[in-house]
Amino acid sequence: MSNYDAIRGLINKMSGQHNTFTVPKIYVEYTGDLTTAILLNQIVFLSDKSKRKDGYFYKTYKEWKTEICLTERQVRNSVNKLKKLEVVETKLMRANGSPTVHYKLHYDKLVDSILTLCQIPNLQYVSIQHDNKSESITETTTENTTETTTIPYVEIITYLNDIASKNYKSSTNKTKDLIKARWNEGFRVDDFKRVIDIKHDEWKDDQKMNKFIRPETLFSPKFEGYLNQEGQANDGGAFDELF
C-alpha cells in the first residue's frame, strides 16, 4: 500500500458525523473570523435543544473544547463578539449544582442581520485563525464606497484586542487616522502586530503602564521607535517617553 493510500484510509476512518463539523460561509462573513463562526454555528444548533422555557442552554468550557475544539479563551472572546452583535446573551446560573454559563440565541436578530448581510455586494472578509489570533480580516467595502483603501483596520484592532484582552473598535475615527498615518509611512500588518507584541510584553504586568496598551499610544508617531526597540527594561522612565 502506498503512503497516499494509507493516509487516505486513515482520514476516512477519522471522518464522520462525530469527527467533522461544517460552518456556513455566511457565518464567517457575519462574525468576521472563523473561530466565532464555529461557535455561532454550534449555538444555533443547540439553541432549540434546550428544555428550558426561557431559551437558555448551558455548556462548560470543557464541553466546548470537546465539541468544537475551542479553548476557554477563544470561547470567551467569541462570545463577547456575539454579544456586541446582539445575537447572543449569557447568564451565570446553576447547572448540576455548579455556577455555569448559560447561552441564549436571539434568533430573529440573527436572521435579520444575515438577510441584511446578503444584500451587501462585494463583502471583502477573509479570516483565518492561528493560535487565537485573527489574521487577514480586511475592511468591508461596497461598489458605492468612495474610500479605495485596503488598510486592514479590523485585523489590526482584532489582534490588539485578542492579545491584550481589550475591546477597542476598529471603526473609531481617531484609531483609523492613527493606523492610516502609519500605513502611509510604509508600515504594514506585521509591523503593527510586532509593536503590539513588544509593548504588551513590556507593559502587561505594570499597573501604571498597562493602560497605555491602546491605539492612541501604540500607533502614535513613536511607532517606529517601538518597532525597533529591543528588550528595554521596564522602568519609570517609560512613562515620560510616551509623550
Q: Which cell is 57 given?
A: 442552554
- What amino acid occupies position 142? T
pTM (2 decimals)? 0.46
Q: Going by C-beta distance under 8 Å and a sequence separation of 6 or more, which residues neighbour residue 135?
A: 127, 128, 129, 155, 159
Q: What is the pLDDT of residues 149-205, one digit of tens each?
A: 488 899 999 999 999 999 999 888 999 999 999 999 999 999 999 999 999 999 999
DSSP 9-71: HHHHHH-STTT-----HHHHHHHSSHHHHHHHHHHHHHHTT---TTS-EE--HHHHHHHH---
The domains of the chain, with CATH numbers, are 3-110 (1.10.10.10), 137-241 (no CATH)
> What's 140's DSSP letter?
-
Q: What is the pLDDT of residues 32-45, one digit of tens each?
A: 899 999 999 999 98
> Where does residue 100 rank: exposed (0-12), middle (13-18), buried (19+ CB within 10 A)?
middle
Q: Going by C-beta distance under 8 Å and a sequence separation of 6 or more, which residues neighbour residue 4?
A: none
